[in-house]
Amino acid sequence: MRSDVMKKGVTRAPHRSLLYAMGWVKEEMERPLIGIVNSANDFVPGHKHLHQISAAVKEGVRLAGGTPLEFFTIGVCDGLAMNHQGMHYSLASRELIADSIEVMVQAHPLDGLVFIPNCDKIVPGMLMAAARLNLPAVFVSGGPMLAGRFQGQPADLNSLFEAVGRVKAGTMTAAELQELEESACPGCGSCSGMFTANSMNCITEALGMGLPGNGTVPAVAAARVRLAKKAGITVMQAVRDELTPAKVLTPAAFANALTLDMALGCSTNTVLHLPAIAHEAGITLALDDIQAISERTPQLCKLAPAGADHIEDLAAAGGVQAVLKRLAEKDLVDTGCLTVSGRTIGEQLAEAKILDENVIRPFTNPYSTTGGIAVLWGNLAPNGAVVKQGAVAPEMMQKTGPARVFNSEEEAVAAIYGGKIKAGDVIVIRYEGPKGGPGMREMLTPTSAVAGMGLDKDVALITDGRFSGATRGASIGHVSPEAMEGGPIAVVEEGDLIAIDIPARKLELLVSEEELQQRLANLKQPQPKITTGYLARYARQVTSANTGAVFREVDVT
């Protein structure tokens, strides 16, 4: 066992003494040591119950003959960090999460790991760590929040962000807003739509790193506790079988994950995280690969914010396994891929059932013949841009309009709420990329403001930053290269015409090539917004969004 280097032999007597100091008995020391990587904190509603999940995982580990050792990571709540300085730290926390787990696991040799994530950057950060460390590992998330109810209709966190715009527009009262804010998020779990956290938890299941149900069993269900116990039992079998992430995280597994992504209409943030996880596994996942999978995969589900269904509805319809089963009908997933359960995807799908074809549509009636996410290219985004096309109104799929240019999210939000944006405008928000932000802030506030003020079918938004999984409308993000790297988005001028053609995968600034090159030659970059602390170091190391915003490899020769 890997942990033997810490606990066996005469020279390890001091180490064993430290373990005895914690009340251990010899029998515990002789068992495999399993790290329980918990992201619990008191800030995040998705984490409120993770101590209960952790306790169940530990029970499972002990039932199967292991000794659990829990440690914790940081975790940012994107909702609480939204539209103030805190959002600079959200994406940047992903690298810290992966690095901190590496530190703990390498400093204290363990035999296996159970990861307990919930919420946006924690899931990918933990998956990056699992791929990097390559120890037997199982994921069990905290699960999704149930949807709330407001005036007889389902509600969620995104309903609040859009309601702010409705209040500003005079179509909702302050009293109604207060009623909504007390009912939209009814309890613990990751926010109830197909936002980034739930997208990544579902994708973890398709990758084979989580057990069936990981993405959709509600946080408050007893089945979630049972799943946690099973995760503890399963990791012990993985240790015995030497089943490591390298055997699970194959190119075919990433293709399966992206296929599920497209069928569900997941958050555009998955296009940041999957390439970063693949990078840790030694696999290159480019935007071209992502677009190819989107082109062949129909969108079969439309969950909030794009539609009325929530994660609990997907769970009732059969969950992720049911969607994978449907995709397997057309050979769109590789059923031979191995999972942490020790079974293949195909063996797991033998138990899956599609229980509601209104939630998981048949191939004869898809929402779209292509995937929920599209990659756009053109002179405005030479290295690509990303849009959640499954959440775009039909009338906005092709659009040409004048640019309204802003150098920060705050400037754009002030203009939207100030009534300065008109139907037909194309809002451009730049210097919000991984380096320029820094941290590539998630911009749910401007997109929700546009939707709340009734302009989501009339106004497009383009940025080198990124959007929340809760975003809907013609919101095009991840424009690469970003402005701070000298990308063409840096030289867009007020009133320039921009042409968006999502079906043709095009994003074009309608100026001559000569004019564009002249502007780029004359570009003078602003000073970095933040020059001290972690964010300054992050900005110096991070790459553009098309790479997954991974850190640059440093040549030390």
8-state DSSP, 89: G
Alpha-carbon 121 to chain mean position: 6
- What are φ and ψ of residue 456, in 5° steps? -65, -15
Q: In terms of residues, how long is the chain? A: 557
DSSP, collapsed to helix, strand or coil, labels residue 448 as helix
99, burial (CB in 10 Å: exposed 0-12, middle 13-18, buried 19+): middle
Residue 48: both structure tokens together: 């409120």
User: Digits of tens for pLDDT over the chain (557 positions)?
Assistant: 999 999 999 999 999 999 999 999 999 999 999 999 999 999 999 999 999 999 999 999 999 999 999 999 999 999 899 888 999 999 999 999 999 999 999 999 999 999 999 988 999 999 999 999 999 999 999 999 999 999 999 999 989 988 988 998 899 999 999 999 999 999 999 999 999 999 999 999 999 999 999 999 999 999 999 999 999 999 999 999 999 999 999 999 999 999 999 999 999 999 999 999 999 999 999 999 999 999 999 999 999 988 999 999 999 999 999 999 999 999 999 999 999 999 999 999 999 999 999 999 999 999 999 999 999 999 999 999 999 998 898 999 999 999 999 999 999 999 999 999 999 999 999 999 999 999 999 888 898 888 888 888 999 999 999 988 777 789 999 999 999 999 999 999 999 999 999 999 999 999 999 999 999 999 999 999 999 999 999 999 999 999 999 999 765 44
* Cβ atoms 138, 208 nearer than 8 A: no
- What are φ and ψ of residue 461, in 5° steps? -135, 130
Helices 122-133, 196-207: axis angle to 10 degrees equals 30
DSSP, collapsed to helix, strand or coil, labels residue 508 as strand
**439: left (phi > 0), else alpha (psi -120 to 50), else beta?**
left
| Distance separating alpha carbons of residues 248 and 254, to the nearest angstrom | 10
| Distance separating alpha carbons of residues 144 and 190, to the nearest angstrom | 5
H or E element, residue 57: helix 50-63
Residue 150: both structure tokens together: 């407001």
Question: What does the H/E/C string look like for 211-251?
Answer: CCCCCCCCCCCHHHHHHHHHHHHHHHHHHHHCCCHHHHCCH
For residue 365, count other CB atoms closer than 10 A to its CB.
10
> Catalytic residue at 3?
no
* Cβ atoms 369, 357 nearer than 8 A: no
DSSP, collapsed to helix, strand or coil, labels residue 460 as strand
| Distance separating alpha carbons of residues 406 and 443, to the nearest angstrom | 13
54, 159, 468, 544: which one is catalytic? Answer: 468
In the chain, the amino acid numbered 194 is M
Closest Cα partner for 549 from 489, 485, 471, 488? 485
Q: Concatenate the DSSP letters of all residues of 273-315 into one string.
A: HHHHHHHHTT----HHHHHHHHHH--B---BTTTSSB-HHHHH
**Predicted structure pTM score:** 0.95
Residue 17: both structure tokens together: 């003494």
* Distances 294 to 287, 401, 433 between C-alpha atoms, Å: 10, 27, 24
| Distance separating alpha carbons of residues 181 and 44, to the nearest angstrom | 16
The pLDDT assigned to 137 comes to: 98
* Cβ atoms 352, 324 nearer than 8 A: yes
Q: How many Å is the Cα radius of gyration of the chain? A: 23
For the chain, the maximum distance between any two Cα atoms, rounded to a whole number of angstroms, is: 76
Residue 304: both structure tokens together: 């909030």
User: What residues have CB less than 8 Å from 220, skipping those under 6 apart?
Assistant: 49, 143, 146, 187, 188, 189
Judge if the upstream peptide bond of residue 144 is cis by omega within 30 degrees of 0. no
**Bridge partners for 477 per DSSP:** 386
Residue 247: both structure tokens together: 């055997």
